[in-house]
Amino acid sequence: MIATASLRVDWRRFVAIIGILAMSGVLFMMKASAILNQVDGNVWLANDSRADLIVKYQSDNLSKVFNWDFSESDTDIFYTHPNIEQVQIVPKPSGAEYRLVSGSVAEYVHLLAFAPQQNSLSLPYSVSKSERAALEMHKTFLAPKSFVIAHDAQIGDEFIFVDNQDDSVEEAWTLVGEFSTEVTPDWTVLITSPHSLSSTPGYSLIAIALKDDSLQEQTMAELNTLLTRYAKPFTVVKRADLRVEARKKALLSRTMQVFVINAIVPLAIFNLVTIVLIMRANLFSQIREFGTLHALGFTKFDLAKIAMEQGLWLGAGAIVLSTGLFYVVAFIWQQFFGFSVQLSALIFFASAIQIMFLAILGGALSIGILKKVELTSLLR
């Protein structure tokens, strides 16, 4: 009763505390996202992909792509491009029957630059109503710039092109078929963006899911022709070769994991100290009330429970606020620094649990203040 009454009546003061806690939460989320996206994101996403073929810019710096392990992927063929250092595959949303395509306008235009013969944007795919809803969600929460292409498009269909960057949220493009005539409509094309860490705009990856495995050889041949004509820098990398690379990457990955663990520990300590200090400051501002309760017969454990309950509510508020702030900060990073991070469920829950735990712990630890102050001085 006391904790909630304090929050209800004195909410203005607690808003400030929630704000400070939320900043700490954002800090954790941003750092964890940056680190984990960099290290784990690619493998996790690649393994989620159901693509049969992946076309990718050639990369001499494949080893720089942390933890790039396709050994578990269904992917058979890789095309790589030398100008790209980082790649990321975006998984299809659970329950969706189509293959999700995500990329950016800048990247798409960049692709066209490699295909000067092609004067108009054209892809043989459309977006249905339900997919459009998914797209809206996707563009809002996951990728600042994205578009979705379904596999069952026909020539003449419209597809939605989203560009959040220019505020022209969406634009309808008519399928003209130039691309589709050369890439069989039996394919699903997954276009993914390097929007995690790359400073080079451009396609990182085109993943192709075949409806029929027998089409693989034909598809490879067609792709080679197409990509050689439209985008000369593309080259082919065999999946088997990449597996060798993957083994090398696994070693690097382990090194990176050690780094991540070592980065997270001081980060967690920093957060712990910050939150405990905030909660102590919170208790200092209520020292007289706590002193009175102690005088009336509440034990320090009782007071700790009150402080912990306050911490619980403050932590819950901080999670909501920090999640909102995360997207704001992520958007600013993306817009001004071309560096975007994604808030995965893992990071969200890890951050949420951490904030809650630390806020509650901070409340409990701050009761130590009472030991240092004479009870009579609390009551004056």
Instruction: In angstroms, give the least distance from the CB of 286 to other proteins.
Output: 9
**Nearest CA among 233, 232, 229, 202 for reference residue 117:** 229
Site for other proteins in 274-293 (CB under 8 A): 288-289, 292-293
Angle at 246 between CA 241 and CA 252, to 5 degrees: 140
With CB under 8 A as the rule, give the number of residues binding other proteins.
23
Which of residues 170 and 289 has its CB atom nearest to other proteins in the complex? 289
Which of residues 5 and 240 has its CB atom nearest to other proteins in the complex? 5
Which span sits near other proteins by CB under 8 A: 170-178, 231-239, 249-257, 295-303? 295-303
Per CB under 8 A, 368 contacts other proteins: no
Instruction: In angstroms, give the least distance from the CB of 298 to other proteins.
Output: 6
Per CB under 8 A, 379 contacts other proteins: yes
Which span sits near other proteins by CB under 8 A: 5-13, 38-46, 156-164, 219-227? 5-13
Helix (H) or strand (E) holding 261: helix 239-284
Instruction: Check residue 92 and report its DSSP letter.
Output: P
Instruction: In angstroms, give the least distance from the CB of 297 to other proteins.
Output: 2
Per CB under 8 A, 16 contacts other proteins: no
Per CB under 8 A, 113 contacts other proteins: no
Instruction: In angstroms, give the least distance from the CB of 280 to other proteins.
Output: 19
Instruction: Rule CB under 8 A: choose which of 44, 298, 339, 348 binds other proteins.
Output: 298
Instruction: In angstroms, give the least distance from the CB of 371 to other proteins.
Output: 10
Instruction: In angstroms, give the least distance from the CB of 306 to other proteins.
Output: 10
Site for other proteins in 228-267 (CB under 8 A): none
Long-range pairs of 126-130 with CB within 8 A, sequence gap ≥ 24? 126/150, 126/152, 126/153, 126/154, 126/157, 126/158, 126/159, 126/175, 127/158, 127/159, 127/160
CA 205 – CA 17 distance, rounded (Å): 44
Which span sits near other proteins by CB under 8 A: 107-115, 190-198, 345-353, 368-376? 368-376
Which span sits near other proteins by CB under 8 A: 8-16, 72-80, 103-111, 171-179? 8-16
Which of residues 169 and 379 has its CB atom nearest to other proteins in the complex? 379
Instruction: In angstroms, give the least distance from the CB of 133 to other proteins.
Output: 45
Contact 319, 352 (CB under 8 A): yes
Instruction: Rule CB under 8 A: choose which of 9, 273, 281, 332 binds other proteins.
Output: 9
Instruction: In angstroms, give the least distance from the CB of 337 to other proteins.
Output: 44
Instruction: In angstroms, give the least distance from the CB of 253 to other proteins.
Output: 52
Which of residues 306 and 364 has its CB atom nearest to other proteins in the complex? 306
What token pair was written down for 96?
């969706």
Pairing of strands 53-56, 77-80: parallel
Which of residues 228 and 285 has its CB atom nearest to other proteins in the complex? 285
Residues 6+ apart with CB under 8 A from 143: 90, 102, 104, 193, 195, 340, 342
The phi and psi torsions of 31 (rounded to 5 degrees) equal -65, -45
CA 230 – CA 232 distance, rounded (Å): 6
**What separation in angstroms does the CA of 96 have from each of 100, 129, 213?**
8, 13, 21
Pairing of strands 235-238, 77-80: antiparallel
User: HSE (CB half, 13 Å, CA atoms) of 120?
Assistant: 11
Instruction: Rule CB under 8 A: choose which of 42, 153, 302, 327 binds other proteins.
Output: 302
Which of residues 129 and 380 has its CB atom nearest to other proteins in the complex? 380
**What separation in angstroms does the CA of 52 have from each of 69, 76, 174, 259?**
15, 6, 27, 33
Instruction: In angstroms, give the least distance from the CB of 299 to other proteins.
Output: 5
Instruction: Check residue 27 and report its DSSP letter.
Output: H
Per CB under 8 A, 372 contacts other proteins: no
**What separation in angstroms does the CA of 48 have from each of 34, 73, 89, 344?**
20, 8, 9, 14
Binding residues for other proteins (CB under 8 A): 1-2, 5-6, 8-10, 288-289, 292-300, 302, 374-376, 379
